[in-house]
Structure 1
C-alpha cells in the first residue's frame, strides 16, 4: 500500500492535484485538496482523514511565522492543526527555513546575489530565505508592510524587519487570516495598483507564489521569479508577462511543483517520525537531492 500525504489547503480547489512518487523503495501518494476559503471544511477534512494518512500539510495558510529566533502561531490555522490528533500536520515552515536557504546558496553562481535587487513580498513566513538573501549581499526589499498590510513602507534592513516582527506579530497572528493573505477565490484575482512599482524595481521576485501572482504587473521582461507551488497554468501566466526564468525550490511532479507544506509532510512520512530537527531536514534534503529547478520561460 502506498503511503498517503494530504495537503489540506484554504486555497482554491481549482489547483487540486495528485502525484505518485516512487523513492527509496517505497511508494508515496501526494495530494492537494483545496477548500475554497472554508476553514470549517478544512477542519472537517482533517478530522475525516486523521489517522488514515501518514502526514498532513497545511496549505494556503501559515501555522507559524518567524522573526529572528521567535515563532508566532496564527490563531485561525491553529484551529485546523488541533483537529489532527493522530496524524502530524506541518505547514512547510521547517522546510522553508532549510530548503530555501540552501536554494539561495546553490543559485549564487547562476544569479550572483551581491547587489541584486530582490523583492520578497512576505518575509516573515520565509525568514530563512530572507536571512540567506541578506547573507548573500542582495539588495532586498522586504514587502511585509506593503503587501500584507497595504502600507507604503518598504523595509530594506533585515534587522528592522525583525524588530517590527517582535512588535507586530503577537497582534497580527490573532487577526482573521483572510485579512492578511488571499484565500479561496481571491488567489485567482489580480490586484493592479501602486504596489506594482516595487516589482518594476526588482530584478528577482522571491517568496510566496500567491502574493507574487496577485500583485504582478502586466510586464515583467527579463525578471526572475523564485518560488514554488506552480502549475502549468502558472507557467503560462509567467510567460505571457515576459518573465525570463522561473526557479522553483521544490521539484516538479506531474506537471507542477508542490508547496513546501507537501514536501515537508513527505519528509515526515519518509522519516516515520515527528517532529524533525533542522539537521534531520538537511539530511533528507541531501538524501533526496532536492535542488532548485530552473525553467527558461522564453526559450
Structure 2
C-alpha cells in the first residue's frame, strides 16, 4: 500500500486534487491528496477525525497553524482546534518547510534573479518569515505588506526589524481572531478586490509568498513581472498568462499539473521520514534527498 498524505483545507473544494508520486531513490509510491471544505472549520474537523490514524500524515491547508516573528511562534486559535482533532496522525501546516525550503529557494535562485536591489513585494511576511529573512539577507528591496494586505492599513514596511517589532505587539491579538477576517477562505479565494492596494504590485519586480493573497488583490496588468509562490493549478497559470506575468517560480516541483502547498510537501516529507517531529536539519536532509528544487515556468511565448 502506498503511503497516503491528505491535506484537509478550509479553502475551495474547486481546487481539490490527487496525485501519485513514485520516488525512485526510495522505491516507494506516495499518494498526495487535497480536500477542501469551502471555508467550513466544522467540516474540516470532522474529516480529520474520520481519517485520523488511517493516513500517514495530514496537511493543514487554507490556513496557518503557526506564524513567526524572529524566534517567536504564535498559534492561530481556529487552526489549533483543527490540529487537536488529529490524535494519531501527525498534522503539518507547512511552517517548518517554509522556514527551510523557501530560504533555500532564494539562495538557489540568485543566479537567475539577482536579488540585490530587486523590488520584491511580500504581501504577508509573518506567514513566511524565513522567506522574508532570506530576501532581506540577499539585499532585495523588500516591501513587507502585512499591514496593507492583512489589516487594510496603508502603511508599507521596508525594514524587517520594524515588521518584527510590530508583529510582537499585534500577533498575540490577531491570532485569536476568526481566521476568515484575516485571510480569504472558501469561495473568497476566487474573488478579486480592485482597490488602492494594487499600486504596490505595480511597484514590484517580483511578488513572493502566498498565492491567494496575490490573486485577490492583483491588478489586471502585471506585464513582465515574476511570481514566486506555491499551490498553483493549471487555471492559475492561465490567470497569470492573461495578466502578462512573465515567469512563475514555485518552490516545489509541479506534480500532476499543479504545485502543492507547503503543508502537503511538509506532510509528504514526514511520511517519507516515517517519524515526527523533524528538526530543521532533518528537513534540509530530505529536501536534498528528494531533490526538491524551485521550478521555473516561462509563461509568455518568446518571439524569434
What is the TM-score with the length of structure 1 in the denominator?
A: 1.00
Q: How does 1:206-217 map to 2 (within 5 A)?
A: 206-217=208-219
Deviations, residues 9-65 of structure 1 (Å, cap 9, x unaligned): 000000000000111111110000000000000000000000000000000000000
1:226 equivalent in alignment to 2:228: yes
Question: Which one of 8, 29, 32 corresponds to residue 30 of structure 1?
Answer: 32
Question: Residue deviations 1:256-280, cap 9 Å, x none?
Answer: 0000000000000000110000000
Aligned to 1:185: 187
Counting only pairs closer than 5 Å after superposition, residues 127-166 of structure 1 correspond to structure 2 as 127-166=129-168
TM-align CA RMSD: 0.4
> Equivalent of 2:96, from 94, 97, 101?
94
1:112 positional shift: 0.5
List runs of 5+ in structure 1 lacking aligned partners.
none
Say which SS state the counterpart of residue 283 (structure 2) adopts. helix
Separation in 1, partners of 2:203, 2:22:
42
CA distance in 1, matches of 2:60, 2:44: 9
CA distance in 2, matches of 1:10, 1:268: 22
Rounded to whole Å, the distance in 1 between the matches of 2:29 and 2:202 is 44
Task: State the shift of 1:250 in Å.
Answer: 1.1
**Separation in 1 of the partners of 2:127 and 2:208?**
12
| TM-score normalised by the chain length of structure 2 | 0.98
CA distance in 1, matches of 2:288, 2:255: 18
The reply on whether 1:241 has 2:243 as its aligned counterpart is: yes
What is the CA–CA distance in structure 2 between the aligned matches of 1:251 and 1:293, rounded to whole Å?
5
1:168-215 per-residue CA deviation (whole Å, 9 max, x = no partner) reads: 000000000000000000000000100000000000000000001001
Q: Across the two proteins, how many residue pairs are aligned to each other?
A: 299
Output the CA distance in 1 between the equivalents of 2:29 and 2:299.
Answer: 31
Residue in 1 that maps onto 2:73: 71
Cross-structure match for 2:43: 41
* Deviation string, structure 1 residues 132-162 (Cα, Å, up to 9, x no partner): 0000000000000000000001000000011
Task: Give the deviation of 1:108 after TM superposition.
Answer: 0.5
Aligned counterpart, 1:287: 289
Q: Corresponding residue for 1:269?
A: 271
Runs of 4+ in 1 over 2 A off after TM superposition: none
